[in-house]
Structure 1
């Protein structure tokens, strides 16, 4: 698993909700955070202020190069980079590209929307969305970037998976984006109304439903279904996945912790 820290401000949902003319604000701002390069139509507050090396792609490339060359030279991390002799980001002597189709991309809340946009622009193995995507305007308008017609990673087929609490603020947004005319998560789009442990209840209002889907290990079985494993592999040995999980949210579920894939 690779859990990336990256620029996460301003808040995309609340900021783009207030942009009256920017129909593409949500997707273009997410692309700005992903690529590290300002995209026309993104929030104007990012123009000239987005550092390329704070983008998700540049940070992922640098981590993979470090793992391949220094930290874990026998871990096979180079297989997620192309070409095989690449040595860094866009300013390197041999720039790397990410082999997206080998990656499971996961995110919580705002990160769930990033995962969906990565899958819109690239073919990935699987997308995991926890408590998101959150994007909406008002209560009934949901941006179109998750519509199935424009996805590099095809809708349905278990490609998109998610978990959201029914009592949380973004339940309607998340399940709308997962819908059959959009990402088509189908049976892989899980909802919960649980009020025990770390989930919200009337008697525990300071424990939000929005975060419990990534902090409460009672959902271990659902998390486990999000990351495909070889058939018959004992649970005790399920620490290193056959494909790495790129987590673009914090914290990451327990299934996503541990050593390299």
Structure 2
């Protein structure tokens, strides 16, 4: 089934112009309208009979039921461009508080804002109707790429500095870190070690940010990620992603909340925790991981353990991307061994765009295809199951 958008433009077939690219519902006219189902504004041109449009809408819904890839949508923007926006969490919600006991601040010691949040969307690119929530320090190079894939992206300010302050006892409880991660993500009471209310959890801060973006940047059509009553995000349209500590929280959150996809760069960690083996609200085929083999989390079997406990061995073997090409056997477990001159610190940071990443002599990133695969590969296209790796340590002594 072809997409309803070709080469960034609505198809010349009048039938196709009668279907909403976000939810495949019927557009009843030949002008700029709002879809009655999802509320997304699209520009339609040409005329088509209502009956034929209704028939096509039914076909489109059937295609969605059979797992056809999301339909790309052209933004209704008179001056298409990449938009980069920032806002402070404390200015979007007056309930936001500082939590200095876990180094979760609104203002830094030098008076600078600690709660800046970032967003990027590129209206020059047909939109895929998915929102990336990035759980780590802002990475504009990564946002440039995911927006180029047709994804919206935000980074929210949430509690992530507790790691060096909490759960430091030996031995640490098997649920200690996992529970704090879940409380930091949800603002719900999962841990006795922290007290993070809903306005300071990732979920609510993301919702507030998207509400602001809907008003501030209507060209980006951010409202498509909100529920009809705007009380929550449509989480199955969300790709929760992160690196290191952030990838670990992303995976823990996805165990609790069903999301569209999970992208885990240099992670997940938590080698003493058991949350990785819990039942998952998010189907395990939606998790994607990527690590360098000299990363300490890899050499110490933190990542391979998490990947197997999540169940990623059911979707293919570990694939070295430097010796393979997309779609990498449709696997969910990717590694690289490019030369980092034995620097484990660089290895840890090397699997995302940035100074540590692998570049060719012209300065071009060598893992562009890997990042695109992780964020856009169809989640229902999976590799063949392989046995658990007996050399991957599952129980780590404390």
Q: TM-score, normalised by structure 1?
A: 0.68
Residues in 2 aligned to 1:219 and 1:30: alpha-carbon distance in whole angstroms: 29
Residues in 1 aligned to 2:256 and 2:345: alpha-carbon distance in whole angstroms: 35
Instruction: Report what 1:145 is aligned to.
Output: 275
Give secondary structure in 2 for the equivalent of 1:164. strand
Instruction: Report what 2:221 is aligned to.
Output: 76
- Offset from partner CA, 1:201-252 (integer Å, 9 cap, x none): 13xx48521111112232111001012179xxxxxxxxxxxxxxxxxxxxxx
1:31 to 164, 179, 182: 182
Give secondary structure in 2 for the equivalent of 1:224. helix
Q: Which runs of 5+ in 2 are unaligned?
A: 1-152, 317-330, 358-364, 379-398
Give secondary structure in 1 for the equivalent of 2:268. coil
User: Is 1:102 aligned to residue 217 of structure 2?
Assistant: no
User: Is 1:191 aligned to residue 191 of structure 2?
Assistant: no
- Offset from partner CA, 1:91-126 (integer Å, 9 cap, x none): xxxxx1121111111110011111112211121111
Instruction: Report what 1:209 is aligned to.
Output: 347
Give secondary structure in 2 for the equivalent of 1:194. coil
| CA separation of 1:190 and 1:66: change in aligned 2, threshold 3 A | same
| CA separation of 1:173 and 1:65: change in aligned 2, threshold 3 A | same
Residues 161, 226 of structure 1: 8 Å contact kept = yes
Aligned residues: 198
1:9 to 161, 165, 168: 161
Residues in 1 aligned to 2:207 and 2:377: alpha-carbon distance in whole angstroms: 25
Residues 146, 182 of structure 1: 8 Å contact kept = yes
Residues in 2 aligned to 1:153 and 1:136: alpha-carbon distance in whole angstroms: 21
| Structure of higher RCO (CA pairs closer than 8 Å, 6+ residues apart) | 1
User: Is 1:168 aligned to residue 295 of structure 2?
Assistant: yes
Cα distance, 1:72 vs structure 2: 1.8
- Offset from partner CA, 1:8-43 (integer Å, 9 cap, x none): 11217x843635362211221101110224423x5x
Residues in 1 aligned to 2:295 and 2:345: alpha-carbon distance in whole angstroms: 11
Residues in 2 aligned to 1:7 and 1:167: alpha-carbon distance in whole angstroms: 28
| CA separation of 1:5 and 1:73: change in aligned 2, threshold 3 A | same
User: What value does the CA root-mean-square deviation take over the aligned residues?
Assistant: 2.4
Residues 17, 136 of structure 1: 8 Å contact kept = no
| CA separation of 1:206 and 1:129: change in aligned 2, threshold 3 A | closer
Q: TM-score, normalised by structure 2?
A: 0.46
User: Is 1:56 aligned to residue 56 of structure 2?
Assistant: no
| CA separation of 1:120 and 1:206: change in aligned 2, threshold 3 A | closer
Give secondary structure in 2 for the equivalent of 1:78. helix
Residues 19, 25 of structure 1: 8 Å contact kept = no
Q: Which runs of 5+ in 1 are unaligned?
A: 87-95, 138-142, 231-261
Cα distance, 1:130 vs structure 2: 0.2
Instruction: Report what 1:238 is aligned to.
Output: none
Residues 236, 260 of structure 2: 8 Å contact kept = yes
- Offset from partner CA, 1:136-160 (integer Å, 9 cap, x none): 13xxxxx22122x51011223xx11
